[in-house]
Chains A and B, each alone.
Chain A
């Protein structure tokens, strides 16, 4: 199923230049490709840079986020140095769409949901009539089991999960090629999660959207939607493989701990001791010599701390570890 290459990220570095005069290195040399038909799941420790990676890929560098080096290519277009008005007009929403993690907050509380959608779509497709836009929105609302009244509601009148689904509708209104969804299901009950996943799948199968990057802590969901999974730690990808490889046979010590911490409601889970990793990730303000996970890793020795660890192939996937 290897389709056309849609997105290529090469050795991307981005950082926050904070008002305290510090440099927070959030994304440290990430590379990957996304092809038509692929759903790439990204999981990893809280604070490791997943959301930052998502924003960086969309080419937006809202201050204090800054581009360091590397490239992001959407088709033939380089997004890291594209002119911002061109990016907004021709790319964002249309070719690539980013559903932010703060989605629940992204809705303007003083605008009706309907107004918000109409304004947004009009920005890209001024010729579409208001009725047509609302009709398209209403259809998508229906497939997500959102009551019609949501169109007429203000954001503060909605529950957490309603806001989240509303954002999913809004971000896919323009049928983008690449959808980057940052925790789109974290506020949803399992049945609503299923509905969102179903919609994404459906848009996908109808080729309305062509590829998805799905950032989440919910590994059981990735198990059912991702074709590939990347595990991220301290700004780097540490393991990239097929869904089966990463979920059922993780190789990197961090991925391994992550997969062992999954709790599903099955008999026997109660009372099971869950693994924990002592210590904290390295301070993102500092330069790090060797493996970033070394201080918390059961396998680490002096060799791991000497030089930067490169991605290498092991058991058919890419791993950033010299001990496995």
Chain B
């Protein structure tokens, strides 16, 4: 395999608080993300997935460990370098209610993503693209452009975050529960669009999700986190059909399916 490593994560640790309140959210986690690869990070609530994502997005400093993009350590990125990083690496956040400024309209949120570009498209071009990406996520420009986030439904907010990604077309997308508030039908079409990003831009995608069906459906590899640690990683097929770690086994056993009783 001569696949190129896009992001290299080594011995990542993050501690919050001290003394009685000390929480080791992420413990000595290492993994690689290859170019043009889709991986999913799955794990228990509170196992450190969002914290890991925030560090990968350079929004939170690790307590220990390093993250490299194409061989460069991201911890020293400032100013222009940081902007370039965010042009390449973008996130969709878990809580769409907190993700954007409550006082920015949908149009402004989308318009602002062009700030990451070196060359600014014309106003007409920007508008045209915004209309197009809203259409991708089944929304009408006329209906939502002037709305504030609190005037949208949960799934509509998530879809704005996703539309933003189609404007930026990052090299690496880190999507934290991106479709948890979207119905199954729309979810399929959004997944298809995200997968087309991989075809077109050779992008890599990290899905953070509790939805093992989704993880299995879209990913090449799956990583399992438990208590801040990475306990198992492997091909999607191996993890789902032949899990090794006891926690992974339990997780897969706990998935509600349509045709079997869910042992409550």
Residue interface bits B147-187, CB-to-A below 8 A is 1, else 0:
00001111110110000000000000000010011111111
Asked if A130 lies at the interface with its beta carbon under 8 angstroms from chain B, I say: no
Contact B257 A270 (CB under 8 A): no
Closest residue to A22 on the B side, CB-wise? Answer: B143
- Excluding A183-B180, A276-B189, 10 further A-B contacts by CB distance (< 8 Å) are A47-B156, A102-B154, A104-B97, A105-B98, A186-B180, A186-B181, A191-B254, A263-B217, A265-B252, A267-B241
**Beta-carbon contacts under 8 Å, A241-267 to B:** 247-248, 257-258, 261-267
Contact A46 B181 (CB under 8 A): yes
Determine the chain B residues whose CB is within 8 A of the CB of A276 once the complex forms.
Answer: 185, 188-189, 192
CA distance A45 to B154 in the complex (A): 11
Asked if B61 lies at the interface with its beta carbon under 8 angstroms from chain A, I say: no
Residue interface bits B27-57, CB-to-A below 8 A is 1, else 0:
0000000000000001111110010000000
Asked if B216 lies at the interface with its beta carbon under 8 angstroms from chain A, I say: yes
Asked if A162 lies at the interface with its beta carbon under 8 angstroms from chain B, I say: yes
How many A residues face the partner with a CB closer than 8 A? Answer: 63
Determine the chain B residues whose CB is within 8 A of the CB of A69 once the complex forms.
Answer: none
Contact B153 A161 (CB under 8 A): no
Determine the chain B residues whose CB is within 8 A of the CB of A51 once the complex forms.
Answer: 153-154
Chain A to chain B: the 5 pairs with minimum beta-carbon distance, closest first = A161-B45, A46-B155, A274-B188, A261-B184, A263-B213
Determine the chain B residues whose CB is within 8 A of the CB of A16 once the complex forms.
Answer: 151
CA distance A189 to B49 in the complex (A): 11
Determine the chain B residues whose CB is within 8 A of the CB of A227 once the complex forms.
Answer: none
Contact B258 A189 (CB under 8 A): no
Asked if B251 lies at the interface with its beta carbon under 8 angstroms from chain A, I say: yes
Return A226 CB to nearest CB of chain B, in Å. 12
Contact A223 B258 (CB under 8 A): yes
Asked if A31 lies at the interface with its beta carbon under 8 angstroms from chain B, I say: no
Q: Which among A20, A160, A248, A265 is the interface contact of B213 at CB below 8 angstroms?
A: A265
Residue interface bits A281-295, CB-to-B below 8 A is 1, else 0:
101110000000000
Contact A223 B256 (CB under 8 A): yes
Contact A197 B258 (CB under 8 A): no
Determine the chain B residues whose CB is within 8 A of the CB of A18 once the complex forms.
Answer: 151
Determine the chain A residues whose CB is within 8 A of the CB of B238 once the complex forms.
Answer: none
Q: Which one, A116-124, A170-178, A213-221, is touching chain B?
A: A213-221
CA distance A165 to B44 in the complex (A): 13
Q: Which among B45, B139, B188, B255 is the interface contact of A162 at CB below 8 angstroms?
A: B45
Contact A162 B46 (CB under 8 A): yes
Contact B186 A46 (CB under 8 A): yes
Determine the chain B residues whose CB is within 8 A of the CB of A159 once the complex forms.
Answer: 45-46, 50
Closest residue to A224 on the B side, CB-wise? Answer: B262
Contact A46 B156 (CB under 8 A): yes
Determine the chain A residues whose CB is within 8 A of the CB of B215 once the complex forms.
Answer: 265
Asked if A307 lies at the interface with its beta carbon under 8 angstroms from chain B, I say: no
Contact B140 A283 (CB under 8 A): yes
Determine the chain B residues whose CB is within 8 A of the CB of A224 once the complex forms.
Answer: 256, 261-262, 264
Binding site for A on B (CB under 8 A): 16-17, 21, 23, 42-47, 50, 94-95, 97-98, 138-140, 142-143, 146, 151-156, 158-159, 177, 180-189, 191-192, 210-217, 236-237, 240-241, 250-252, 254-258, 261-262, 264
Between-chain CB contacts (< 8 Å), 12 pairs: A51-B153, A51-B154, A104-B95, A160-B94, A187-B45, A187-B210, A188-B45, A188-B210, A189-B44, A221-B256, A261-B187, A263-B216
Contact A192 B188 (CB under 8 A): no
* A220-B256 contact given A191-B250, A267-B241, A270-B237, CB 8 Å threshold: yes
Determine the chain B residues whose CB is within 8 A of the CB of A45 once the complex forms.
Answer: 183, 185-186
Determine the chain A residues whose CB is within 8 A of the CB of B155 once the complex forms.
Answer: 46-47, 217
Q: Which among B42, B153, B185, B258 is the interface contact of A277 at CB below 8 angstroms?
A: B185
Residue interface bits A103-120, CB-to-B below 8 A is 1, else 0:
011000000000000000
CA distance A16 to B257 in the complex (A): 37
Determine the chain B residues whose CB is within 8 A of the CB of A323 once the complex forms.
Answer: none
CA distance A205 to B45 in the complex (A): 26
Determine the chain B residues whose CB is within 8 A of the CB of A221 once the complex forms.
Answer: 256
Asked if A88 lies at the interface with its beta carbon under 8 angstroms from chain B, I say: no
Contact A192 B251 (CB under 8 A): no
Contact B255 A265 (CB under 8 A): yes
Closest residue to A188 on the B side, CB-wise? Answer: B45
CA distance A20 to B159 in the complex (A): 22
CA distance A191 to B189 in the complex (A): 27
Determine the chain A residues whose CB is within 8 A of the CB of B185 once the complex forms.
Answer: 45, 257-258, 261, 275-277
Closest residue to B187 on the A side, CB-wise? Answer: A261
Determine the chain B residues whose CB is within 8 A of the CB of A157 once the complex forms.
Answer: 16-17, 21, 23
